[in-house]
Amino acid sequence: MSASEVMTETVYRTEPQAQDGDYRPAVILQVLPELDAGGVERGTVDIARAIVEGGGKAIVASQGGRLERELARFGATHINLPLKSKNILVMRRNVDALVKLIREQGVDIIHARSRAPAWSAYFAARKAGIPFVTTFHGTYSGHTNPFKRRYNAIMTMGDQVIAISKHIANHINKFYKVEPDRLNIVPRGTNVDLFNPENVSQERLIALSTQWRLNGEEYVIMLPGRLTRWKGQTFLIQALPAVLEALGHRQLRCLIVGSDQGRTAYREELLQLSRKLGVDDVVHIVDHCADMPAAYMLADVVACPSLAPEAFGRIPSEAQAMGRPVVSTAHGGALETVLPGETGWLVSPNEVDQLSRALIQVLNLTPEKRAALAIKGRNHVIAEFSLEQMAERTLRVYAKALKRVIRNAV
């Protein structure tokens, strides 16, 4: 069943005694701090689109950002509220503002995607008598601190709770405990139309390879992601000397694709490490890329050597959708998204020899094995991690929450 069909089924009885003809599509309000770049923001917009395409009404409340325009383009409504604030007085005012919004717009479900707005949304939902749904997007810091743990726990207080991976569901059960009938695993979705090798033109490839000064003769190892230590850029650089030695005279480029976001000291540390290991002519930090589908097409292997577990990790999923082999660290979401030996390779954190061997193995794949891996990887993402899958599963959670309200009301 498609997401649109699920949305058509997600209807709400306006009164306990109402007849069948009085059902209507649900009105869903999602709340988050802001609408700039990020997985939380992107997922919010994708679900809002699925709600609208299914005939429902999608409302998003946040402090705003560049994704507001995208919401407007497909008919969702954005309400500007100071939901990023952790000031207790502002959060209390947000409760009243959300209750007013719920009543004026006929909201049936409020879905919180971050902790500060979730506290306001929780009390607003209880005052208005509607279901409260949460998405637990990460492990969050400070779960061993009683006060921080209590703050984080709001994300487990939903009538229905969404975890973005099995890894996150396990974390929830370890530190917070959620009844099985309230906990739902909904992996992040990948846009398999955007990340489709057939939709990347030769012109886009030429433009990007020219910008990055690639000649088409070299092997390309790519590590996408912002420049931050836990993403494992140093881990990858340490693995390069052995890879170079194994390749003989073949050229190699290691493209680190991501903004330093002001972390200039860490950027310089990476360059110094490259010089120290004699791979400074191989390592290129190319900053933000606006055309990631074309970027993946230029890569022979995509590395995701994070030192800490990813809550989900979009890079392995996007890379596989583009038919690219992945070498990732064996923890977190990668254990769910990468099929070892079939769509990629998994290595232990900080095990440089393992990472080197895996990269060498991928770069030495025959064209036939590479083609088979590409098909397997793309089919895997389409089946398990597409936007359509994420939307359908999320809408089923909404239907589940609404059915509980109807049962309690009757």
The pLDDT score that the predictor gives to residue 382 is 96
The pLDDT score that the predictor gives to residue 10 is 57
**Amino acid identity for residue 195 in this structure:** F
The 8 Å CB, 24+ separation contacts for 154-157 are 154/112, 154/115, 154/118, 154/119, 154/122, 155/112, 155/115, 155/118, 157/118, 157/122, 157/132
Over residues 232-259, the mean pLDDT reads 93
Cβ of 311: how many Cβ atoms within 10 Å?
A: 20
**Amino acid identity for residue 405 in this structure:** V
Give the model's confidence band at 268: pLDDT under 50 very low, under 70 low, under 90 confident, else very high: very high
Would you tell me the crossing angle of helices 88-105 and 115-128 to the nearest 10 degrees?
A: 50
The pLDDT score that the predictor gives to residue 104 is 97
376 has pLDDT over 70: yes
DSSP letters spanning 180-208: TTTEEE-PPPB-TTTS-GGG--HHHHHHH
d(CA 392, CA 223): 31
285 has pLDDT over 60: yes
Pair of tokens at residue 292: 């990631």
Give the model's confidence band at 5: pLDDT under 50 very low, under 70 low, under 90 confident, else very high: low
The structure's pTM equals: 0.88
Give the class (CATH, top level) of 3-189+386-409.
Answer: alpha beta
pLDDT per residue as tens digits for the range 378-405: 999 999 999 999 999 999 999 999 986 5
The pLDDT score that the predictor gives to residue 260 is 82
Q: Please report, for the chain, how many H helices and E strands are present, in that order.
A: 16, 15
Over residues 122-138, the mean pLDDT reads 96
Over residues 288-315, the mean pLDDT reads 94
The domain limits of the chain are 3-189+386-409, 197-384
Residue 323 falls in which region: left (phi positive, over 0), alpha (psi -120 to 50) or beta:
left
CB burial of residue 299 (10 Å; 0-12, 13-18, 19+): buried
Distances (CA, A) of 392 to 38, 65, 137, 353, 387: 21, 26, 18, 41, 8
Rounded to 5°, the CA angle 126-140-255 comes to 130
The pLDDT score that the predictor gives to residue 16 is 44
The pLDDT score that the predictor gives to residue 39 is 82
Pair of tokens at residue 42: 């992107």
55 has pLDDT over 80: yes
Give the class (CATH, top level) of 197-384.
Answer: alpha beta
Over residues 137-153, the mean pLDDT reads 82
The pLDDT score that the predictor gives to residue 322 is 98
Give the model's confidence band at 37: pLDDT under 50 very low, under 70 low, under 90 confident, else very high: confident
The pLDDT score that the predictor gives to residue 277 is 96
pLDDT per residue as tens digits for the range 71-106: 999 999 999 999 999 999 999 999 999 999 999 999
408 has pLDDT over 80: no
Q: What mean pLDDT is reported for the chain?
A: 91
Do the domains 197-384 and 3-189+386-409 match in fold? yes
Taking alpha carbons only, the member of 330, 328, 229, 218 closest to residue 270 is: 229
Cβ of 146: how many Cβ atoms within 10 Å?
A: 9
154 has pLDDT over 90: yes
pLDDT per residue as tens digits for the range 323-351: 999 999 999 999 999 999 999 999 999 99
The pLDDT score that the predictor gives to residue 14 is 44
